[in-house]
Chains A and B, each alone.
Chain A
């Protein structure tokens, strides 16, 4: 399926869970496609949002972030997101990490809520009277927090391989929580993949299959699909790209011009041509950095 066809599964106002761990594993082809198609008023959930959320913020695609943190790690704050929140244009529905994972876990298993001991004593629960309530353990009376089930409309993931039926494989297991929980909690699942394979190839290595085809609605071919973020073990983040983004994102006009330049590429191939082979090659030599 093309990125454009996959993006058609996402409507204005939808709640979209996007794989992201700061500088790691963001399905950027779909982020660009949502910008190209001018989606509006999305709520986005990520575990650690990064540059993708910053682009959606600058382009007015996202009006609410529901999750624990927005940060590009060593590259600092996401300026478009920060400005949007400070101006009141973007809402940050903030939870701790166990908080958002509890909400998604309840959604995944069709339970009304899931509990956590996280956030007790902090100012976070009082922000969310509709989704966080104190609950007494029926066995001991201990107070815990109940987190209301969350079922986003769609999720977007990036994987190493996917076959024509939609079976999804990851190399070396599922390090990131997004992969394990989003397909079960979300109404639809879009997966961009480094490599398209056949069902026979899947059957040759079933131990690497982590999402079954029945839970997958769209598979989109996207080699280097997380660039400029990393996708372990294939490539690390593009340092120069992030540093340039830190520089231009101080100025909204320059930031938007940069985003528009990359979003003008209407295929992954065209995007990678803009980035250039030298930059991509540098991200694949990461073992020298260890």
Chain B
């Protein structure tokens, strides 16, 4: 039987389960999956979730997800426009607030380091120049719990070692983060095929569940390094009918999230 949901909806529902009352979360550029996940969490199990839309619009209530996750339509009915220099960064750096941060990287490696800077060649003569660090170069180093997502689970995205560490994950694994005095770190990766976390000691990426219809072998094949696989791997919990309805009819009726699945 064909499931009555699609992978984007499964990813949104899975990411939303990582959020709880009274987390504060913010989103960056072109982050449609997290934005839908925030809205879904708020509409279901986490009504007190505080969402700083585009890192500007506090508690925004957009009628639907617009075509940009940074611009003013996303800040609709916010209760505050957060000045970024003093307020946003002070609250983000303070340690008490905005403790979870959703991250996507052009490359993510086995220890959850992410690259959004350069691919191939050397740094000053790269094969591909990516957009650059923005806040990623900070969020991995200031104690945030990092929730990764990617819509391209393949060996080009999930690599043995990133070409450049733009966002600090578990670095070389083990206790390396701790030795540098860094708190927080990567907790989960929600991809279009599976859900991964990180082994508590080695900090190597570990397969936790495969999405319905995907085999463990397919995930292994699509991953550019050896995943930790312990015991039988369950299926990812599918979204409920109500979650699917909310995503399709109320949160993102225009399908903005599909921009991430080009």
Contact = CB atoms under 8 A, between A and B. Distances in A.
A174 interface: yes
B168 interface: yes
Contacts of A77: 129-131
Contacts of A172: 81
A175 to B, nearest CB: 5
Interface string B68-88: 111111101100011111100
Given A21-B70, A286-B73, A69 B56 contact: no
Interface in B42-57: 56
A169 interface: no
Contacts of B29: 22, 48, 71, 73-74
A21 B86 CA distance: 16
A82 B133 contact: no
Contacts of B171: 121
Interface stretch (B134-142, B148-156, B205-213, B223-231): B134-142
B30 interface: yes
Nearest to B116: A69
Contacts of A174: 83, 85
Given A74-B259, A122-B166, A122-B167, A69 B132 contact: yes
Interface residues on A, range: 35 or more
Nearest to B130: A77
A85 B132 CA distance: 12
B70 A175 contact: no
Contacts of A23: 68, 70-71
A120 B180 contact: yes
Q: Which of A70, A74, A173 has the most CB of B within 10 A?
A: A74
A122 B72 contact: no
B83 A119 contact: no
Given A68-B132, A96-B136, A120-B141, A24 B70 contact: yes
B181 interface: yes
A117 B67 contact: no
Given A174-B83, A236-B71, A237-B71, A120 B168 contact: yes
Given A143-B181, A175-B84, A92 B129 contact: yes
A123 B70 contact: no
A86 B124 CA distance: 8
Given A86-B127, A122-B165, 8 more contacts: A22-B70, A69-B131, A143-B180, A177-B85, A237-B68, A289-B66, A289-B67, A290-B77
A-B residue pairs, 6 tightest by C-beta:
A96-B137, A121-B168, A118-B138, A290-B76, A177-B85, A69-B134
